[in-house]
Structure formats: structure tokens, C-alpha cells
Amino acid sequence: MTDIPVGLETLRFVFAGHRPTGVFAPVLVGVVGSGNLEVLLEPREGSGCELHIETSARGFGSIWEAVARDFHERHQLAGIRVSVNDMGATPAVVSLRLDQAVTELVL
């Protein structure tokens, strides 16, 4: 019986942002290892805050949404794309990594 994996889950959330980030050099934190993730921050046209997630941990859409909303609540960033490659990190680690990325953002 074959069990070729079905692939990654892709999730996307966009929020109305408030604090403009302006132009900045992309920021990368984290590593795509087991239970870990990498986060890439880039400037984005417009005033939205977009989170784009690719994860090997399928079926946790609502948890990702909650984490994304909480992240946006904390930072309210505008004009930014947050891209994530995730390999099964816990919500706590995800939030930590997202905040870590923002800390490295020189605004």
C-alpha cells in the first residue's frame, strides 16, 4: 500500500494594517527544522498585512488563523508580507518566531 504524502498545506490571511513599515530590507528568522519554522518579512504594496504560510502540519487552519490574528493584534503592521515555511512548530513557537522577526525589523 503506498502512502505518498499529499503535500503541504497553504494558508493565507490578510488583515487591514495600521502601522506602516515602509521600505525595508527583507528579514529572515528561524530555520525549517522539525518543530520549527522560518519567517520572512518583506515590504508589500498597499496597507495590508498578509501572512502566507506553507506547512507540513496539515489540518490546523483554525489554529493558524488564531495565531495570525493574535500576531496582527500585537503589531498592527501595514504594507508587509509575512511568509512562513513551517515544519510542525507549536503555536507558541510560531508566535515567538513571528515576534522575533518583527524585533529584527529596523523601522
Q: Tell me the C-alpha distance between 64 and 70, whole Å.
A: 10
Cβ proximity to another protein: between 43 and 73 the closer is: 43
CB of 49 to another protein, least distance (A): 17
Burial class of 16 by CB neighbour count within 10 A (0 to 12, 13 to 18, 19+)? exposed
Contact indicator for 17, 78 with CB cutoff of 8 Å = yes
Q: Smallest distance from the beta carbon of 73 to another protein, in angstroms?
A: 26
Q: Which residues bind another protein (CB under 8 A)?
A: 1-8, 26, 28, 31-33, 36, 38, 40, 42, 54-56, 83, 85-87
Angle at 9 between CA 71 and CA 15, to 5 degrees: 30
Please say which residue, 5 or 107, places its beta carbon nearer to another protein.
5
If the CB atoms of residues 59 and 73 are measured against another protein, the closer one turns out to be 59
